[in-house]
Each structure stands twice: as C-alpha cells, then as structure tokens.
C-alpha cells in the first residue's frame, strides 16, 4: 500500500486527568460578605464553589499534578511533544510547560511550547496534536491546559473565579474519545475580555462577553454544519466552555434555535447536567474548562456512552471559537478517574471570606528579590518562591 493510500488511524484522547487547588471558597460565603441572596450565584450563574490557589500554587503546580497522573498510568514511551495551553502565563518568554517537563521527569527528546488565545487554546493544541499524530501514528502528545481565573474583589466577575488543569494524552487508537472531522471555526476581533501585561486581573465587558460568546459559538457551529458536520440531534451530549455553567445553557439554546429547535429550560438543564458537575464546584478554569466538562460527562453519565457522538464547543474571548465532535470508545469506563477526581475536589480546604481575601490580595514582588512562599498546599508540587528573577518549584514530601 502506498503512503497516499494508507489508512488514517483513529486519533483522540487516550487519557484525561484533572487537578485543582488546595483551597476553595463556597459562594454562600461570598454572598454573605456582600449581603446578597446566595441564589444569585447558585441559581443565577449556576456556581456553588470556586477553587482558590494557595500561595505556593500556580498554573505549573496544577499542570504538573495532572500530567504526573497521566504518566503514572501510561509511562513516557512515545511522547514527543508537550503543548501547554494557558492564558495565565508566568513568563513572557519561557513556556510554563518547560517547568512541567522537568517536574514530571519527561525525556529531553520532547518538544515543548506554550499556546495562548484566551480560553480557546487547549482546543487548538488538541487539533495540532491530532495533526502531528496523523503524520506519525507512533508518536503521542501531551496536551495540558492550566489556568486561574482571577478578577478584582467586588467586581461582577468575582463569583466566576476558579482554577484547574486538564492533562490529556493524545494518540492513535485512543481509549476515551476519537476526534472527528470536520471542525468548525470562527474568529472576530472584539474586546469582550482581556488582560493587559500591566494587570494581574482581567477586564471584562460582561454583557458584551455574553454576546461575543454566543456569536462566536454560533459562527463555529454554522461553519461546522457547512462542512458536512453532524446535526444537533446526532449528539448525545455537548461540552461547552463554561465561564459559569449558565453560560453553557445559553450557548446550547442558541445552537438549538439556529438548528430550528426550541427546547425548554428544563430540557436544556437535563441535557447539560452531567457536563456541569465539576465546573459548578471548581469555577472557571479558562483553557481547561471545556475538558473539565468532558471529564465531568464521562465520569457522571449513568448510561453507556460507547459509540456516542459528543460535541465540544470551545470559546476564547477576543475572540476565537471551534466546534467539533468525537466518538466515545468501547471500554472507556475502565480508563476513567472518577474516584481520583472526586477525592481531589472533596479534599480541598474550605476558606472563610477573610482568609480568601488575604490570599487574593497577596502578590509577588516584581523586583526579582528573594521571596519564599508559605508552605500550605497538600498537592504533590509547589511553587517555592522567587530568586534572581527565577521561579522555583519543588515536589512536596509525604
């Protein structure tokens, strides 16, 4: 058989592991502090708890934990690329993925690069990984998304904060989900959400961001359909980017209307419920969000999804969106991490508002002087501090 006649292998997500922070804040505590009804958060935006980073945690420590779980199960054979997706970058030059590479003990024969486009770039990384593997099916790619969503105290975005990492092993003949063609894409230059270099918190046009999200997801969906993609009723579930879970509900209703349907709010809630369980108690995780939703669906869906088509609707402010489908693989349940993910989320230490505010106001020095972080996290990796303008990381003991 010639190369042009060779069969393209099934390529997709073989393993998926999540990580989050040591601390968390119940949104009831935030509501009490501001003197408002907690239902504004628990019902209005569909969020219950948000993960909060300790002083010795960041995107690298979460990413290293999630990636180490992948390596513990699968080893490093065949891994030739690590693509790190984030919009919470820690350096203008060095990829955060290089720190992860060292912490988890990957071989030197691995290319590492960081990708950025708001909350979208993990999906770009996944598609790039599929392309690399199509060229050489013996290779495997680590796609790692890690972010902390952080807004000003008292701002409208404060209740939509969160933090998490999602690490995926992408390869031929995957155990969890194959990635299908086509993919619908959409880009538009809008200022709905952005974070200039001189700010540690983002700027958001709240109503404008909702409009931009729906417009971009709708544009990606229409491009997907124009390329011969499946119809809405062909999807057993769709995982949406979730800056807050009610946003996914708005997005799904928008696609339904574009497709000529008119679902009730209860029908939308039931359709999306399993994709939202982790995001409701973690909060917004930017690039990781849609893959946190995928893990939530696979971990919680009671019926057998084998052979089912699952949609992924990815959005990044500014704005870029993509819609594509995947097929759940036979035996996928044997490769899930339900107990691991549940224990990780349940083990977080709940903060009161005072402790949360102290953490939020803690900032790193910007002059490169020696700075040691307080040892607080119980996670396997920690950010130890700064010195000579360099970030330092270490494995925790025990």
Quote the CA–CA distance of 173 and 184 in Å, as a whole number. Answer: 23
Catalytic residue status for 241: yes
203-204 and 79-85: which strand pairing?
Answer: unpaired
The Cα-based distances of 241 to 202, 247, 290, 391 in angstroms read 18, 8, 4, 30
| DSSP assignments along 249-298, one per residue | HHHHHHHHHHTT----HHHHHHHHHHHHHHHHHHB--GGGHHHHHHHHHH
The Cα-based distances of 169 to 112, 346, 379 in angstroms read 14, 25, 21
> Of these residues, 14, 57, 65, 87, which one is catalytic?
87
Asked if residue 116 belongs to a known ligand binding site, the reply is no
What 33-36 contacts at long range (C-beta under 8 Å, 24+ apart), as own/partner pairs, is 33/353, 34/154
- In sequence order, the β-bridge partners of residue 17 are 167
Task: Please report the sign of the dihedral spanned by the C-alpha atoms of residue 166, residue 171, residue 174, residue 177.
Answer: positive
> Of these residues, 22, 101, 241, 360, which one is catalytic?
241
Quote the CA–CA distance of 363 and 58 in Å, as a whole number. Answer: 12
Asked if 192 and 317 touch (Cβ cutoff 8 Å), the reply is yes
Quote the CA–CA distance of 283 and 47 in Å, as a whole number. Answer: 7
Asked if residue 152 belongs to a known ligand binding site, the reply is no
Quote the CA–CA distance of 136 and 318 in Å, as a whole number. Answer: 33
Asked if residue 284 belongs to a known ligand binding site, the reply is yes
Quote the CA–CA distance of 335 and 72 in Å, as a whole number. Answer: 13
Catalytic residue status for 101: no
Asked if 156 and 97 touch (Cβ cutoff 8 Å), the reply is no
Asked if residue 37 belongs to a known ligand binding site, the reply is yes
Distance of CA 395 to the CA centre of its chain: 23
Quote the CA–CA distance of 335 and 42 in Å, as a whole number. Answer: 32
Assess whether the previous peptide bond of 319 is cis (omega < 30° from 0): yes
Strand (E) or helix (H) holding 203: strand 203-204
> Of these residues, 14, 22, 114, 119, which one is catalytic?
119
Q: What is the DSSP letter of 390?
A: E
Catalytic residue status for 180: no
Where is the binding site for (3S)-3-hydroxy-3-methylglutaryl-CoA, in residues?
37, 151, 250, 284
As annotated, the active-site residues are 87, 119, 241
Where is the binding site, in residues?
37, 151, 250, 284
């Amino acid at each position: 058989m010639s190369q042009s006649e060779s069969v393209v292998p099934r390529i997709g997500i073989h393993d998926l592991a999540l990580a989050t922070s040591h601390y968390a804040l119940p949104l009831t505590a935030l509501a009490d502090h501001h003197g408002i009804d907690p239902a504004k958060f628990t019902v209005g935006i569909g969020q219950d708890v948000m993960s909060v980073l300790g002083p010795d945690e960041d995107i690298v420590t979460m990413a290293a934990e999630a990636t180490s779980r992948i390596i513990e199960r699968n080893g490093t054979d065949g891994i030739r690329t690590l693509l790190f997706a984030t919009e919470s970058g820690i350096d203008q030059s060095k990829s955060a993925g290089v720190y992860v590479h060292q912490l988890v003990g990957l071989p030197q024969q691995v290319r590492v690069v960081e990708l950025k486009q708001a909350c979208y770039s993990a999906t770009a990384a996944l598609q790039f990984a599929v392309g690399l593997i199509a060229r050489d099916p013996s290779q495997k790619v680590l796609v790692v998304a890690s972010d902390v969503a952080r807004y000003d105290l008292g701002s409208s975005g404060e209740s939509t904060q969160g933090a998490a990492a999602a690490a995926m092993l992408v390869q031929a003949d995957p155990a969890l989900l194959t990635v299908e063609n086509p993919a619908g894409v959409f880009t538009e230059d809008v200022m709905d959400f952005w974070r200039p270099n001189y700010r540690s918190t983002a700027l958001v046009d709240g109503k404008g961001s909702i409009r931009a999200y729906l417009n971009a997801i709708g544009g990606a969906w229409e491009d997907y359909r124009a390329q011969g993609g499946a119809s809405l009723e062909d999807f057993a579930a769709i995982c949406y980017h979730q800056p807050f879970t009610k946003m996914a509900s708005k997005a799904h209703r928008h696609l339904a209307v574009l497709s000529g349907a008119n679902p009730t709010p209860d029908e939308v809630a039931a359709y999306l419920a399993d994709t939202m369980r982790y995001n409701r108690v973690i909060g917004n995780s930017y690039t990781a969000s849609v893959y946190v939703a995928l893990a939530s669906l696979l971990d919680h869906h009671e019926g057998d999804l084998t052979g089912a088509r699952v949609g992924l609707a990815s959005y990044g402010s500014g704005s870029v969106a993509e819609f594509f489908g995947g097929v759940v693989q036979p035996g996928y349940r044997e490769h899930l991490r339900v107990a691991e993910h549940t224990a990780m989320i349940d083990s977080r230490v709940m903060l009161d508002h005072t402790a949360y505010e102290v953490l939020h106001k803690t900032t790193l020095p910007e002059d490169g002087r020696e700075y040691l972080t307080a040892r607080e996290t119980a996670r396997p990796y920690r950010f130890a501090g700064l010195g000579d303008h360099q970030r330092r990381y270490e494995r925790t003991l025990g």
